[in-house]
Structure formats: structure tokens, C-alpha cells
């Protein structure tokens, strides 16, 4: 088809289908218009084929057809350089980034992936006009390469320097697109490609549409980019990029999973099974022995609670974070690996292999368009999915501190180089850590045993201790189980096959939004108040057994329990199930052996309330003695006073040692102490 014929046909097509919409766009001052590819094919199949095979020239003809519209004189200027954006390409044009080859250069294709990097928006020259000083001839040079091109010679035969009259600039931006992990087979390295955005497609770094971590669909033309060698010579190898024509964000989460009506029927049947929880627990990690409570918590974690956004813009997270702390060889890493496979959009990272920037976001030097660009880390890429972090205790302190905001606020704020941005990180975190001294000491507080800051530990809804204690009956079962696994490596799947389990969890997470009933609220309230009161003995507050963070965890877990059974209401039973889990975790870690009471401070601050009370008492004794004995106070006097108050000698010495370490007191000479 001749170019003039193409322009004529496109003009007819626009007259028939889009005239009023185009006029509306021009009046609004927009410089682009989106056309559905299906409409073009319905009008003329040949035009559709031309767009796919020779997109560059055909889309130019399309844009010329728009400029030929008969418009009022005041709108004539606005329709110049009008861009046509084509959406809804047929599935035959879909290609994975790893499969792009030489034959695809110049073709119109679409790719899907996750934005990894995004550069700043910068102006770029498209055409430049030069004047010949000898004859006054005006030459127009199209700028396609990365180097600015000037004309070599004029028609009059003149060579040398020409005078630049004007240049046309467009906004340009580069993004790096990476294949999403769901589309890959296990263990494959995701491939990347540069995407070039121009004019109306560019967006600021903080824009949600093409933010790092967002999944997008790009319709564009595959082009080759020359590679320049160090000496300024051009390489024989070329790089690939996609010149974007249309970009749209894709809902990137559990909704990627397609569920057929037959599967939905099957899912509903599983949900109605009286043995539902048992079946799910048995299917979550069938090759790992025991740990029933942990597996139940992991089912709830995969389903999640309800995220709530209030009128004052405050957000309560719905994700349940779980931390597993356990003796070596107790199957933590295996559990994490399995969960990252079952969870849609699951990512697995490990201790020393993860940096703070790799977890949240990094600002990197941009090679594509020069300048700085933003690159998303694991927690941002797993947005609306699940991130498994193994060996959490082996990470450096700076790297771990990057997680604080992502766990509670569910965003990642970055202010580096010239980039200030807030990225979404609505990610569920499942982490595993080892005790500092190799094995658990049941009498020591958690923060002293794990090399983690109490503020980070406090952000986990559930913390499980996996203890490896010798027990003849249990060990016998475990040995038989493990040896049987080695004898028959192809043991059967869990009660629910993995693909169906994945779809079940996605269905529960996406389609079910349960509401709290009065019964569930009463149950949670009753437990919370009972626990708060249990900390005070005879009117005196001895310990703080539970805090508001655990109250929110109870609500999230109750909602997750209702979602798991595909229920529309959170009942008393769901609340009791959540209470059982939270109580189990608190009893494991929060039990103060001295008072026999549960004390949340043992988990969240590392110092139990009874210990803190002792330190305060010792400080008071020191202050009293200072007023009578002067600056230097003999330790014997402190021990005598404390004994009179019923304190044990070793506990008093321990409290004095703690005060020394915190810098409240010092020892001027042996056997004496002074306040600082």
C-alpha cells in the first residue's frame, strides 16, 4: 500500500471512529491519543498488518492523517506533532525479553515485566536545522544517534562549520525492564532490556505508573543501538532497546493467577471441608516433619489480614510478619524455600547476600541516559507478595535498619543523589535467624540471644522458637520420616497439590474480605484485658504482658483465619485460633522465670520489667547512701541495704554491673562506686 493511500485510509478510519475524541483531546491541550488495535483490524486488516510489520513508517502516516483534520485555526498549531498511541496488541506480538532476536528489530511487539531502574527525565534533540553561511540554504538533520550530528556539506559544495538555527527537543527517559519472576522456571536468571520513553510517556521518578517495582506492559518497536568502543570506533556488536509507543501498569500480585470456573468450584469444596485447616497445614511443607503450629501460622501469613485505609489517610497493614528463631539444622531454610515457591510473587534472599540497598532501593549511575536512576530492591519488587529472608542475624546492622520502615509503614523512602521518592513495599516478610551462641538458652531473653535490634523484633507479629531437644518418641518419628524421604525421593505431594494450593491461597487473599463480628471483638478484648491485668500483682504493675502491637496482630490473624476458610465474617472461633497462636508465641519467649508472668518487655526491649524494677531500686539505694556517705559509696553498704529490701546478692551485683555498663555509675577504686 502506497503512503498516500495509507494516509487516506487512516483519515477515513479516524473520521469513522475517533473524530470527536481527538477534537476533545486537542481542546484539552493533550498531544497524544490512544487507539485500540482491534478497531483498526475491524476497519482494515491490511492496515493492522502494516502497523505490525513496518510500525515506524505506518505510525508516521497515521500521525500525518491526524494533522490533515479540518480544524479551527486556533487549534491548528496544537495538532502538529500529535502522537498516536496504540494499545491492545494481539497475543501473537507478545514476547519474553529473553527471546528478542535480530529478526524482531523494527517490529511492533509488547513485553511485560517489572521496572528495575528509572532515570530522570531529560530533554533530547530529535531534529536540528542548520544554515549554510555561503548560500543561505537551510539543512535539516535528524538526530538518531547518541552523538549530535552536523551536516557534512551543502548543495553548493561548501564543507566546514554550519550555523545552528534551531533544534527540536523532546522529553526523554529510560527505564530498565526485567522479566517478572512468576514467568520464569525455577532458578532462571531474569533478563533485562532498556525501554526508551518520549514526550507524554515520561513520568517523574515518584510517579506510580512506572515506579521501580511496578509491573508494566510496554508496546513498542525493537531497535538496535550502536555500541561505541573506547577509541571512539563503533563496535560490530549492537545493543537492543524498545522505543515505547504505549505503556500501561499491570496489576501485579496474586491477581496474576488465572482461576477457571472448575477450579473455583474445587476451591469452594476445599473451603467447606471440616478438615480444612488440617489439610492446609499438611500441604504447606509436606517434606518437613512436625512444626504444626508454625505451618498453621504460615498458612495465615500467605492469606494475610485486611489492609485498611482510613479517611485521615492513615493505613493499617494487613500483612502478617513471622520470625523463626531456631537451633541449627531444624529445617528453617527448607520452610522458607518451600514458602517462596508456594507464595505467588515470592522472593527468597539470604543474610550476607543481601545489602540494605538490595533490600529496599538504591540510587545507581545510569548508563543508558546518563545521570542517576532509582533501582528497586527485593522488598519493593515483592510488593503485594512475600519476601523470605534467611539468616537475618548475619546481615550487617546498617542493612537491617533499612527494613524498619518497610515492615511497619510498608513504604521505602529514599533521598539520595538528586532523587527523593517513596516506593510501595506492601510486602509480607518471613524471616529466619539463628541464636547468637549456636543454640537456645531457654532462660535468657530473645534480644540477648539473637543479634537483632529489639525495635525490629517487635515488628514481627509472631516469633517462633524452633528448639531441637532430645525426645525419644519424637526423634524416632523424625528419623523414620527423614530416612523414608531419602529412600523414596518422589514421595507424594501434600493433601492438596501445589498448583491448586497456590490458587486456593490466591483466591482466599483476593476474593474474600471478612468483617469483624461483635463476638470476635469481645473475644479479643477479653483476652487482651486479661493479659494486661495478669501483669499486676496486688495492685502493683510487675510486668507488661502484652502491647497494642500484639492487639493488631490478633486482629490480622483472626481475619486471616476467616479468609482461610473462605468466610465472610470473622467469628469467635477465628479469634480463638488467633489467640492460641499469639499466646503460644508469648509463652515461648515472654515468660519471665522469676515472676512466672508473661512479659512483653522480654521480647521488645530485652530487659524484663522485674529486672528494670531491680535496677531502679538499686539506683534509689545509691542516691540515698550518697546523701549520707558522700560521693564514694562502699558496695558492701549497697548489698546490705538491698538485702534488707529482700533482694538476692547475685541479682544486686548484676544490676550494679548493668548500671556501670550504661554509664550511670563508675568504680573510682576497688569496692567503691560513685555516680557520674
In a domain, 566, yes or no: yes
**Per-residue pLDDT at 236:** 82
Q: Which of these, 393, 390, 401, lies nearest to 435 by C-alpha position?
A: 393
Q: How confident is the model at residue 255, as a pLDDT?
A: 52
Domain termination residue (choose one: 49, 70, 88): 88
Q: Which residue has the higher pLDDT, 587 or 164?
A: 164
Better-scored residue on pLDDT, 582 or 661: 582
Of 63, 88, 113, the residue at which a domain comes to its end is 88
Average pLDDT, the chain: 77
Quick count: other Cβ atoms within 10 Å of Cβ 161? 9
Q: Give residue 456's pLDDT band: very low, low, confident or very high (50, 70, 90).
A: confident
**Residue 145: is its pLDDT beyond 70?**
no
Contact 223, 242 (CB under 8 A): yes
Least confident of 56-70, 391-405, 406-420, 588-602: 588-602
- Does residue 506 form part of some domain? yes
> Would the pLDDT of 47 be above 50?
yes
pLDDT tens digits along 458-517: 788 888 877 766 667 777 777 777 787 777 766 556 677 777 777 888 788 877 888 888
Which of these ranges, 249-253, 317-321, 347-351, has the smallest mean pLDDT?
249-253
Of 99-103, 125-129, 252-256, 423-427, the least confident: 252-256
Q: Which residue has the higher pLDDT, 536 or 122?
A: 122
Three-point CA angle 89, 90, 91, nearest 5°: 120
Q: What is the pLDDT of residue 290?
A: 73
> 30 Cβ partners below 8 Å, 6+ apart?
200
The number of folded domains in the chain is: 4
In this predicted model, what pLDDT tens digit does every residue of 349-376 receive, in sequence order? Answer: 877 666 666 777 777 776 665 667 777 7
**Is the pLDDT confidence value at 13 over 50?**
yes
Predicted confidence (pLDDT) per residue in 299-318, tens digit: 888 888 888 777 777 778 88
Residue 165 confidence (pLDDT) above 60: yes
- 657 Cβ neighbours under 8 A, 6+ residues apart: none
> What are the cell numbers at 54?
513496518
Per residue in 627-671, pLDDT (tens digit) is 887 788 888 888 888 888 878 777 788 888 878 877 778 888 887
Residue 246 pairs in a beta bridge with: 219
Report the alpha-carbon distance of residue 382 to residue 261 in Å, rounded.
28
User: What pLDDT sits at residue 592?
Assistant: 56
Q: Is the pLDDT of residue 73 over 80?
A: no
CATH number of the domain to which 639 belongs: 1.10.10.10
Buried b (16+ CB within 10 A) or exposed e, 313-342: eeeebbbbbbbbbbbeebbbbebbebbbeb
Share of the chain above pLDDT 70, in %: 82
Q: Which domain holds residue 644?
A: 609-675
Query: What would the grid cell of residue 21 be?
Result: 475524541
Instruction: Let me know if residue 410 belongs to a domain.
Output: yes
Cell of 521: 471483638
Mark whether 84 and 101 lie in a shared domain.
no
38 & 63 share domain: yes
Residue 598 located in a structural domain: no
DSSP string, 187-208: TPPPPEEEEEEEGGG---TT-S
C-alpha cell at 300: 495465615
> Cα separation of 477 and 281, whole Å?
18
Q: How confident is the model at residue 539 (pLDDT cuts 50, 70, 90)?
A: very low
203 and 247 housed in the same domain: yes
- Is 594 within the bounds of a domain? no
CATH number at residue 52: 3.30.1640.10
216-245 residue pLDDT tens: 888 888 888 777 777 767 778 888 888 888
Confidence of residue 540 (pLDDT cuts 50, 70, 90): very low
**Domain annotation covers residue 599:** no
Burial of 398 (0-12, 13-18, 19+ CB in 10 A): exposed
Instruction: Determine, yes or no, domain membership for 296.
Output: yes
Question: 251: pLDDT confidence band, cut at 50, 70 and 90?
Answer: low
State how far the Cα of 614 lies from the Cα of 633, in Å rounded to an integer.
18
Rounded Cα–Cα distance for residues 676 and 650 (Å):
23
Given this model, what pLDDT does residue 349 score?
81
Q: Are residues 520 and 410 in the same domain?
A: yes
Is 192 in contact with 174 (CB distance < 8 Å)?
Answer: no
Average pLDDT over residues 526-540: 68
- 417 with 464, same domain: the answer is yes
**Strand, coil or helix: what is 87?**
strand
Both 354 and 380 in one domain: the answer is: yes
Which phi and psi (to 5°) does residue 83 adopt?
Answer: -105, 140
Mean pLDDT in residue range 437-458: 69
Average pLDDT in the 117-137 region?
79
Among 54, 88, 122, the domain boundary falls at 88
pLDDT of 129 = 83
Averaged over 515-539, what is the pLDDT? 77
Contact assessment for residue 625 and residue 638, using Cβ atoms and an 8 Å cutoff: yes
| pLDDT of res. 207 | 63
Given this model, what pLDDT does residue 361 score? 76
Indicate whether 182 and 331 sit together in one domain.
no
Q: Please give the Cα distance from 668 to 661 (Å, whole number).
A: 14
Q: Are 377 and 465 contained in the same domain?
A: yes
Say what the pLDDT of residue 538 is.
Answer: 46
CATH code, 204:
2.40.50.140
Contact by Cβ (8 Å): 449, 603: no
> Three-state secondary structure along 396-422?
CHHHHHCHHHHHHCCEEEEEECCEEEE
CATH code of residue 423: 3.40.50.300
Instruction: Indicate whether 493 and 477 sit together in one domain.
Output: yes
Mean pLDDT of 182-203: 74
What is the pLDDT averaged over residues 603-608?
54
Q: What is the pLDDT of residue 548?
A: 76
**Residue 625, CA distances (Å) to 619, 632, 633, 644, 654 in order:** 10, 9, 7, 14, 19
Domain presence at residue 244: yes
Please indicate, yes or no, whether residues 458 and 580 belong to a single structural domain of this protein. Answer: yes
DSSP 8-state secondary structure symbol assigned to residue 102: G
Do 382 and 300 belong together in one domain?
yes
Q: Are residues 546 and 621 in the same domain?
A: no
Percent of the chain clearing pLDDT 90 (strictly above): 0
> What pLDDT is attached to residue 536?
54
Residue 27 pLDDT greater than 60, yes or no: yes
- Exposure string (b/e) for 67-82, b if CB count within 10 Å is 16 or more? eebebeeeeeebbeeb
Per-residue model confidence as pLDDT tens digits over 631-642: 888 888 888 888
Amino acid at each position: 500500500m502506497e503512503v498516500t493511500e495509507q494516509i487516506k485510509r487512516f483519515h477515513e478510519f479516524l473520521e469513522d471512529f475517533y473524530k470527536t475524541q481527538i477534537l476533545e483531546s486537542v481542546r484539552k491541550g493533550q498531544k497524544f491519543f490512544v487507539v485500540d488495535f482491534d478497531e483498526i483490524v475491524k476497519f482494515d486488516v491490511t492496515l493492522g498488518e502494516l502497523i505490525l510489520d513496518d510500525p515506524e513508517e505506518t505510525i508516521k502516516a497515521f500521525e500525518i492523517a491526524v494533522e490533515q483534520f479540518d480544524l479551527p485555526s486556533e487549534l491548528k498549531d496544537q495538532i502538529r506533532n500529535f502522537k498516536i498511541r496504540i494499545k491492545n496488541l494481539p497475543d501473537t506480538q507478545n514476547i519474553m525479553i529473553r527471546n528478542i532476536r535480530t529478526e524482531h528489530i523494527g517490529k511492533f511487539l509488547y513485553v511485560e515485566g517489572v521496572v528495575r531502574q528509572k532515570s530522570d527525565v531529560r530533554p533530547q534533540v530529535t531534529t536540528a536545522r542548520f544554515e549554510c553561511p555561503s548560500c543561505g540554504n537551510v539543512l535539516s538533520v535528524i538526530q538518531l544517534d547518541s552523538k549530535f550530528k552536523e551536516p557534512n556539506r551543502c548543495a553548493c559544495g561548501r564543507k566546514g562549520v554550519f550555523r545552528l538555527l534551531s533544534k527540536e527537543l523532546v522529553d526523554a527517559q529510560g527505564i530498565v525492564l526485567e522479566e517478572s519472576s512468576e514467568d520464569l522456571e525455577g532458578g532462571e536468571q531474569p533478563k533485562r532490556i532498556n525501554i526508551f520513553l518520549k514526550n507524554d510517556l515520561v513520568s517523574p521518578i515518584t510517579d506510580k505508573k512506572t515506579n521501580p517495582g511496578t509491573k508494566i506492559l510496554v508496546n513498542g518497536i525493537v531497535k538496535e543501538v550502536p555500541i561505541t568502543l573506547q577509541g571512539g570506533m563503533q563496535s560490530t556488536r549492537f545493543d537492543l532497546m524498545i522505543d515505547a509507543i504505549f505503556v500501561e501498569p499491570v496489576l501485579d500480585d496474586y491477581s496474576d493467577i488465572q482461576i477457571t470456573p472448575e477450579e473455583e468450584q474445587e476451591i469452594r469444596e476445599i473451603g467447606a471441608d471440616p478438615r480444612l485447616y488440617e489439610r492446609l497445614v499438611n500441604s504447606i511443607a509436606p517434606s518437613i516433619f512436625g512444626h504444626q503450629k508454625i505451618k498453621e501460622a504460615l498458612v495465615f501469613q500467605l492469606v494475610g489480614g485486611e489492609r485498611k485505609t482510613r479517611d485521615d489517610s492513615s493505613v493499617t497493614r494487613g500483612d502478617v510478619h513471622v520470625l523463626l528463631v531456631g537451633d541449627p539444622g531444624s529445617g528453617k531454610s527448607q520452610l522458607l524455600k518451600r514458602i517462596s515457591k508456594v507464595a505467588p510473587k515470592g522472593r527468597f534472599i539470604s543474610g550476607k547476600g543481601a545489602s540494605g540497598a538490595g533490600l529496599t532501593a538504591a540510587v545507581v549511575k545510569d548508563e543508558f541516559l546518563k545521570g542517576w536512576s532509582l533501582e528497586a530492591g527485593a522488598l519493593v519488587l515483592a510488593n503485594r507478595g512475600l519476601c523470605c529472608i534467611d539468616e537475618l542475624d548475619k546481615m550487617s546492622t546498617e542493612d537491617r535498619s533499612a527494613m524498619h520502615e518497610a515492615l511497619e509503614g510498608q513504604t521505602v523512602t529514599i533521598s539520595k543523589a538528586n532523587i527523593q521518592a517513596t516506593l510501595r513495599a506492601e510486602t509480607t516478610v518471613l524471616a529466619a535467624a539463628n541464636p547468637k551462641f549456636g543454640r537456645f538458652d531457654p532462660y535468657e531473653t530473645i534480644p540477648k540471644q539473637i543479634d537483632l535490634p529489639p525495635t525490629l523484633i517487635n515488628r514481627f507479629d509472631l516469633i517462633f522458637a524452633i528448639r531441637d531437644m532430645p525426645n525419644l518418641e519424637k526423634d524416632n518419628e523424625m528419623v523414620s520420616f527423614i530416612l523414608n524421604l531419602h529412600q523414596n525421593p518422589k514421595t507424594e505431594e501434600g493433601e492438596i497439590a501445589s498448583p491448586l494450593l497456590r490458587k486456593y491461597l490466591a483466591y482466599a487473599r483476593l476474593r474474600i474480605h471478612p468483617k469483624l463480628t461483635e463476638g470476635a471483638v469481645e473475644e479479643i478484648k477479653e483476652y487482651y484485658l486479661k493479659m494486661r491485668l495478669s501483669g499486676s500483682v496486688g495492685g502493683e504493675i510487675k510486668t507488661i504482658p502484652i502491647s497494642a502491637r500484639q492487639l493488631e496482630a490478633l486482629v490480622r490473624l483472626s481475619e486471616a483465619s476467616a479468609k482461610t476458610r473462605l468466610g465472610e465474617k470473622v467469628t469467635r472461633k477465628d479469634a480463638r485460633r488467633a489467640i492460641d497462636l499469639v499466646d503460644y508465641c508469648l509463652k515461648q519467649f515472654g515468660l519471665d522465670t522469676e515472676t512466672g508472668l508473661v512479659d512483653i518487655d522480654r521480647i521488645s526491649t530485652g530487659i524484663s520489667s522485674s529486672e528494670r524494677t531491680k535496677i531502679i531500686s538499686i539506683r534509689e539505694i545509691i542516691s540515698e547512701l550518697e546523701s549520707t556517705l558522700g560521693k564514694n559509696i562502699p558496695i558492701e553498704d549497697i548489698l546490705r541495704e538491698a538485702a534488707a529490701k529482700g533482694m538476692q546478692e547475685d541479682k544486686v551485683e548484676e544490676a550494679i554491673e548493668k548500671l556501670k555498663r550504661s554509664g550511670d555509675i563508675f568504680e573510682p577504686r576497688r569496692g567503691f562506686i560513685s555516680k557520674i
